[in-house]
Structure 1
Amino acid sequence: MSARRTVLLTGASGVVGRSILRERTPAGLRIISASHSAPIPEAEEPPVALDMTAERFGLDADSHAALAAEVDVVIHSAGLTEWGLAAERYEPINVEGTRRVVEFAEQAGATVHFMSTAFVAALAQGAPVPLGEENVCRNYIRSKHRAEQLLRDSGLPHTIFRPTNLIGDSMTGWTSQGQIVQLMSDWIGRGRAPFIPAHPGIRMDFVPQDLLSKAVLRAIELGDEQGEVWVTYGEEAMNIETCLQLLVKHAAGRGRSLNLPPVVNADELEPDAIAKTPPMTRSYLSVLRDVSEVTRCSGGVLPTSMPELRERYGIPRVDDTAAYLASLEYAAEYLG
């Protein structure tokens, strides 16, 4: 490990990438930001344009080799994270893109830190119930699961970070763009949900994006080259009743009165309870039901590495309810 290390950050224009760039870069670390085309305001030096879906990232052989000669570490954050798409949509970047990162890292002799998802727990062999074939998250989760396997099979030094649903910065609520938590929360908070389909006992596990960013940079700083890190709250995560009460509090702060929708056991819904609602409502309710199913298939409570992150990496103890409220406030003020 050289005294000065250079990190290639893929997906630098995304939510995780920009959050990482906003953190204090550890001494002796240089970050090369990579993106296909989107701007990266936080980059400290001109970014490189890489196409993760193309051979050699779209570079000629000499340019690819020159980049590999510079890089000691790869943070692989590029990927398609939208849910509900056909399986083949995830293949080019989530799976083949990771394969190209593996090839690059082999040439560079680099360690890879891969941003996966905590939802892969739903596909574990020991999962208490199988994940439904029609679940809106399934194809996305499977693509991340396959990408993880590519890394394991490669023999490269690597870590896998598995964050749950990310929210904004733990203090300010800042995020570069709205995520599913903000979108769903705004919809519920405006009184548009006729009911909330959920499985009994599940937790609403939302983690501030800066906790993930701090953990990744600290792993690099310590020279970690193996491990699976669950960036979740686990047993500490709020339950659904607390989450809904926070939406009431947020709505009141914005001058609105929110009557809480009833929480309905997702397994006891009438067959057409969701299907007979208007199209947008049907879409949102389906996502709520399917994400709840993912959590149930993960045991109801997601696995967590939070105690180890606090002890080994010095990740601050952040109350998830306060961070959630900050994220709601930021989204309402700046994300429309």
Structure 2
Amino acid sequence: MSARPVVLLTGASGVVGQSLLREVGEVELLAATRGPVEPGRAARVVRCDVSLPLLGLEPPAYRALAAEVDVVVHSAGLTEWGRPDEEYVPVNIEGTRRVAEFAELAGAPVHFMSTAFVAALLPGAGGTLSETNVTAPYVRSKLLAERVLADSGVPHTVFRPTNLIGDSLTGWTSRGQIVQLISDWICRGRAPFIPVHEGNRIDVVPQDLLSKAVLRAIEGGVTSGEFWVTYGPEAMDMAQSLRICAEHAAARGRRLAPVPVIDPDDERARDLSGLPQLTRTYLSVLRDVSEVTRAGGGVLPTSMPELRDSFGVPKIADTDAYLRTLRFASGR
């Protein structure tokens, strides 16, 4: 590997990809995408599609790219919740298989972006997910993709971030995700209650902490390991989260009335009839995320101490980063 390894970044147009393209360190990034992308600090953009054989490239171009690449960061994937299992197969599972084939030809390790929610499906999980859980098909696809990589024999790491929020210092994100959408809804006083299991931590992580960890792993020549990019026992609880929402709402000239927190298994939390459609949707998502967190132990596994010590990931309070994310989102 050269002093500045050449890194093929799949999913360069996604939230993780865009964050990585802002954090480039001592690497040369090739931004791989099938659609429009902000290239950021990428050396160049590579048009390819992980759902297609040879990544959608002609054989000579495929071989030439493999000869150039030292490392692959695989962040391409269908991340939207609520799709049927089969819709996650082409990119999340078969796409990972094709990335592994490319990496084997290139002699390159793979750094795979999974999800901390797989904790709910691993042996020894503290519970099960209901068949209607909106996250379940996505989480299953990520766990299957991890197994594809493990079976491939290609050297690889697995990064398992929890729900991502904006940059730890600025709140910036390339696009809002479910945390920002639901938080804005809460801050506008639209939530009649919040369904959360007792003891669950509200674990969200700034996207730049994930990007820094991945890049430092590449620069350090790390080619194996599983890294839970979460706050674990340091994560805020729902009471802290709601206090931050109230603080943010007050800064925007709104007084946020106290929001009841209800066990998701309580009948009051399950009967959503008569509520507006958006409210029913967000409450259902919150209930399902709480179920995933509880199945994963209530407090997610974490590698944050190791990421700080070994990879120089900065120590940032999740509460501060969450407030900055809310401020950035409201200013867009």
Provide the TM-score with structure 2 as the length reference. 0.98
Hey, what does 1:18 align to over in structure 2? 18
| Residue aligning to 2:6 | 6
1:128-147 equivalences in 2 (<5 Å): 128-147=126-145
Aligned partner of 2:80 in structure 1 is: 82
Kept in 2, the 8 Å contact 1:8–1:74? The answer is yes
Structure 1 unmatched runs, 5+: none
* Contact 1:33 1:43 survives alignment (8 Å): no
- Equivalent in the alignment of 2:161: 163
User: In 2, Cα distance between the equivalents of 1:249 and 1:309?
Assistant: 30
2:23 partner letter:
E
Q: What's 2:252 paired with?
A: 254
Percent identical: 61
Residue 178 of structure 2 aligns with which residue?
180
Aligned to 1:113: 111
Map 1:240-319 onto structure 2 (within 5 A).
Answer: 240-270=238-268, 273-319=271-317
Which residue in the other structure is 2:211 paired with?
213
Aligned amino acid, residue 159 of structure 2? F
TM-score after normalising by structure 1: 0.97
Q: Which amino acid aligns with 1:3?
A: A
Q: CA RMSD in A?
A: 1.1
Q: How many residues align?
A: 332
- SS of the equivalent of 2:242 reads helix
Note closer, same or farther for the CA distance 1:4–1:314 as it changes in structure 2 (3 Å cut): closer
* Cα displacement string for residues 215-248 of structure 1 (whole angstroms, at most 9, x for unaligned residues): 0000001100100000000000000000001000
SS at match of 2:127: coil
Gap change, CA 1:58 and 1:322, over 3 Å in 2: same
CA distance in 1, matches of 2:139, 2:293: 12
Cα drift, residue 272 of structure 1: 5.0
Secondary structure of the corresponding residue to residue 33 of structure 1: strand
Residue 233 of structure 2: aligned partner: 235
1:279 Cα deviation after fit:
1.7
Deviation at 1:260, TM superposition (A): 2.2
The letter of the residue matching 1:232 is T
Whichever residue aligns with residue 263 of structure 1, its letter is V
Offset at 1:210? 0.4
Question: Partners in 2 of 1:311 and 1:297 — Cα distance?
Answer: 29
Cα distance in 1 for partners of 2:228, 2:55 equals 29
Q: Distance between the aligned counterparts of 1:4 and 1:205, measured in 2?
A: 34
Q: Aligned partners of 2:324, 2:3: CA distance in 1, in Å?
A: 38
